Structure 1
Amino acid sequence: MAYIDLKNNLPGIIGLMKYRPETAKPLNELAEILLRGPSTLSSAEREMIASYVSHQNECHFCHSSHGAAAAHHLDGNLDLLDDIKKNFRNTEISPKLRMLLNIAKKVQILGNKVSEKDIEEAKAKGATDREIHDTVLIAAAFCMYNRYVDGLGTWAPEEKDAYNETGKMLAKEGYLDSI
C-alpha cells in the first residue's frame, strides 16, 4: 500500500495517476513524446533507456513496465528485463546505444557527471545532437517518475510476467490512453 490513501489499489504510477488525473495528463504527454514521438532512436531503444535508468534508481515498477514495453517493441521476450539489470550482456545493442546508456547512467547519478568526452564518444559512435538531447531528457524525466513512484511508497508486482500486458499495451497504444 502507498504511504498515502490513493483511493485505489493500483500499482506504481498507475495508482498515482488515477489519484491525480490533472497531473497525470502532462506526465503521460511527456512520456508519449519522449518514448514514442518522432525520433531516429526506435521506441524500443528509448524504452530501454527508461528501463535502464529506472533500474539504476531501484524503481522496480518503472524498470519492469518500460522493460516490458521495450520487449514488446522487439520480440516480446520479457527476459529483456533481466538482461537490462545485467547491462545488456545478451541483448544485441548498437555501440551508439551503449554510449547513450552511458550518458543516461551519468545523468541518473547527477547531471553534471556527463562530460564533454562522453558526448564526443557518443558522437563518434554515430549519435546525433538530437539523440543525445533526448537521452538526457529521458534519463532526467525517469529520475523524476521513479522518485514520484517510490517516494510515495507505491506497490509493484515482483514477477516480471505481471508486466506482460502492460508492456504490450504501452508498446501498442502508448501513454495517452493508459489511464
Structure 2
Amino acid sequence: MPYIPLESHLPGITGLLEYSKESAAPIRELTQILLRGPSTLSEGDRELIATIVSHGNQCKFCTTAHTAAADLYLGENDTAQKIKENIETAPVSEKMKALLTIAKLTGQSGKNVTPTEIERAKAAGATDIEIHDTVLIAALFCLYNRYVDGLATALPADAGYYNVLADRLVNHGYTRLPQGYDHLKK
C-alpha cells in the first residue's frame, strides 16, 4: 500500500507523476530527452541501461517495465533477460557491455565507476557523449527507483499492464498523455 494517497489505477511511477504534475514535468522532459531524443545509442540500448540499473536497485516495477520496453524495441525477449543474468555473456556488442557495466556501477555508487571502465568503453568505440548519457540515464533511474520504492507504490494487479506500459513508452515516449490516464480506470 502506497505511503501517500495515489490513484489506484496508476501503479508505479505513473501514479507518482500524476500526484505531483509540477515536479513531474521536468523529470518527464529529461527522461524524454535521454531515452527518446537524438542519440547514437538506440532506444533499445537506452532501455537496457534503464533495465540494468533498475534491476541492480531491486526495483520490481521499473525493472519489469523497462525490460518490457527493451523487449519491444529489440523485437525479442532474450537480451534484457540475459543482461540481468550476466552482462559479459549477454548478446550485445562489446561497447554495450562496457556501457551497461558503467550503468550498473553508477547505480551502486557513482564512485564505483573508475578509469578502467571508461577506458574499456572508449576502446570498444563508445564516445564521450555515449558515456555521459549512460551515466546520466543511470543516475536518473536511481531517482526513479528510489521514488517508486521509497513511497511504496503499488505493483499492477495484472502483469499484462507492463506490456501496455511498454507499448505506451515505445509509441508515445515519456511525456504525459494529452488526455491523462482516466481511461485506465476499470
TM-score by length of 1: 0.91
User: In structure 1, how many angstroms separate the alpha carbons of the residues matched to 2:141 and 2:81?
Assistant: 19
Check 1:93–1:161 CA distance in 2 against 1; reply closer, same or farther (3 A cut): farther
For the aligned residue pairs, the C-alpha RMSD in angstroms reads 2.0
User: In structure 2, how many angstroms separate the alpha carbons of the residues matched to 1:107 and 1:29?
Assistant: 21
Give the aligned partner of residue 33 of structure 1: 33
- The correspondence of residues 120-139 of structure 1 with structure 2, limited to 5 A, is 120-139=119-138
Deviation at 1:105, TM superposition (A): 1.1
Query: Structure 1, unaligned stretches of length 5 or more?
Result: none
User: In structure 2, how many angstroms separate the alpha carbons of the residues matched to 1:154 and 1:23?
Assistant: 17
Deviation at 1:92, TM superposition (A): 2.0
Give the aligned partner of residue 2 of structure 2: 2
User: In structure 2, how many angstroms separate the alpha carbons of the residues matched to 1:81 and 1:126?
Assistant: 21
User: In structure 1, how many angstroms separate the alpha carbons of the residues matched to 2:15 and 2:109?
Assistant: 28
TM-score by length of 2: 0.88
Give the aligned partner of residue 165 of structure 1: 164
State yes or no: 1:59 paired with 2:59.
Answer: yes
Is the contact made by 1:64 and 1:160 (CA closer than 8 Å) also made in structure 2?
A: no
Give the aligned partner of residue 24 of structure 2: 24
Deviation at 1:124, TM superposition (A): 0.4
Aligned structure 1 segments of 4 or more residues deviating by more than 4 angstroms: 78-81, 88-91
Deviation at 1:169, TM superposition (A): 1.3
User: In structure 1, how many angstroms separate the alpha carbons of the residues matched to 2:56 and 2:64?
Assistant: 12
Instruction: Give the share of equivalent positions with the same residue, in percent.
Output: 51
Number of positions where the alignment pairs a residue of Structure 1 with one of Structure 2? 178
Give the aligned partner of residue 96 of structure 1: 95
Give the aligned partner of residue 106 of structure 2: 107
Deviation at 1:90, TM superposition (A): 7.7
